[in-house]
Structure 1
């Protein structure tokens, strides 16, 4: 099991469930180091003063908040420490809501909450109650001196905690300047074709069908170069042609989707995919 990064309890009403917080995701990004081209030695980063170009010792560095116009407010570590939230070892559930009511934009990072050795029964009780009601818990907890707003939901018999973004961290749609459907006014025929295209591609969610093709190509490139192979530069991809006739593009897309569906057999939709409605 992954190493616990926090331990405490989930508190709802007068019930406390001892739990441990472990990571639920594992980044697979390919990371590179910066090297000196002639000898492949690692590049070191230095802290340099922008005023005189001299290297600065870590002990001489302070934190400053940018007020603009080259003005900063210097804040001491002790001043920040005095503002740290009280480091309680509890996730205090404040309310329960429907998962469908939470816009996915608010979700930040996900973790698993696993029961402490002594808490198997109350943990199972909370998980089962949340599964039966279909509710998601909202609460707050402190991790590494920062207070988080979080959701707890049941997934396959385990509690999943997701830290949440605050409302003022979400960019308002009104600020995007995107034209609304009322302004663009698609025709009923265009809307019917687009709806039929969506339905023809509808299927059950299966995340295993997707994988990071770019990462796989990068790792294959690294392995090939490590074996001494010479890699030819790929040709520049042709630019995509702009859509001129929207209806023609919809009709061609729908025909291609139907052709893929008919390839599964006599009237059978591909595995996991619904047949398109007529």
Structure 2
């Protein structure tokens, strides 16, 4: 795997040489646009408001102030205020894991110790694990400054880039779209709690598959082999007229499934 960044992870006076690797792989499927008649690839030209094509050398960056007013920003302007490239991730604070709202987490990476840094790395990893804390740091990656959360997971130190506070949309902005003054009967609430309790299990991420991605890839492979199959998905989701009906039907379905599982289990053989 190709490293993304190399440098020093530090807390207090302890420095740990580390390498940063991406912890995720994108599963996005992208398509090119083609001309239907001969499948030649569509290309785009940069044109101005008058329709004239503009060469790359004539294009500048502009920040829109109003419909016909822009502030022109040059590459030199941006370079003058760009964060200085750094090979340091310095943990400034440790906070309790449950104090961080999950909305702040963005992209995930692994921090791997460089040669000779094993002991210091293990010290930080175990220390954070036992204290159940997350390290908060800032660092520069590809000329951009990031806020980051350093935390242990599966015997490795992970780094999650984080959104800044002003990037989080407050729930108050949507309060007019949220239900208010809703009367819930005790029967409805108890039924909902029972349903929720019956569905509680341990989280197993491998249990959840990207079915759409698999179907698209299967279709592509089939069409690439000059074979075409069309399947019509069947909507099996029931429609319920009211909340109680939905809760009761969900409970009945779960009980039916559990009863079916019990009936299909083989009885244990009796020992002679």
- TM-score, L = length of structure 1: 0.89
Q: Does 1:259 align with 2:256?
A: yes
The aligned residue for residue 270 of structure 2 is none
The aligned residue for residue 78 of structure 1 is 76
After superposition, residues 1-278 of structure 1 pair within 5 angstroms as 2-49=1-48, 51-176=49-174, 177-180=176-179, 183-232=181-230, 234=232, 243-265=240-262
Measure, in 2, the Cα distance between the counterparts of 1:156 and 1:230: 43
CA contact (8 A) 1:84 1:146 kept: yes
CA contact (8 A) 1:113 1:161 kept: yes
Of stretches 29-38 and 7-16 in structure 1, the one that deviates more from structure 2 is 29-38
Measure, in 1, the Cα distance between the counterparts of 2:93 and 2:193: 37
- CA drift of 1:238 comes to 6.3
- TM-score, L = length of structure 2: 0.91
Measure, in 2, the Cα distance between the counterparts of 1:32 and 1:240: 31
Are the structure 2 counterparts of residues 241 and 71 from structure 1 closer, same or farther at C-alpha, using a change threshold of 3 Å? Answer: farther
Measure, in 1, the Cα distance between the counterparts of 2:235 and 2:83: 55
- CA drift of 1:206 comes to 0.2
Measure, in 2, the Cα distance between the counterparts of 1:70 and 1:244: 52
Are the structure 2 counterparts of residues 123 and 238 from structure 1 closer, same or farther at C-alpha, using a change threshold of 3 Å? Answer: closer
- CA drift of 1:117 comes to 1.2
Aligned to 1:128, what secondary structure does the other structure show? helix
Are the structure 2 counterparts of residues 240 and 197 from structure 1 closer, same or farther at C-alpha, using a change threshold of 3 Å? Answer: closer
Show structure 2 runs of 5+ residues with no match: 266-272
Aligned to 1:263, what secondary structure does the other structure show? helix
Measure, in 1, the Cα distance between the counterparts of 2:257 and 2:149: 40
The aligned residue for residue 275 of structure 1 is none
- What does the per-residue CA deviation read over 1:195-248, in whole Å, with 9 as the maximum and x for residues that have no partner? 11011111100000011111111111111112222344747x669776422112
Measure, in 1, the Cα distance between the counterparts of 2:170 and 2:85: 32
CA contact (8 A) 1:85 1:142 kept: yes
Show structure 1 runs of 5+ residues with no match: 269-278
Aligned length: 263
Measure, in 2, the Cα distance between the counterparts of 1:57 and 1:30: 31
Aligned to 1:82, what secondary structure does the other structure show? helix
Q: What CA RMSD, in Å, does the superposition of the two structures yield over aligned residues?
A: 1.9
Aligned to 2:181, what secondary structure does the other structure show? helix
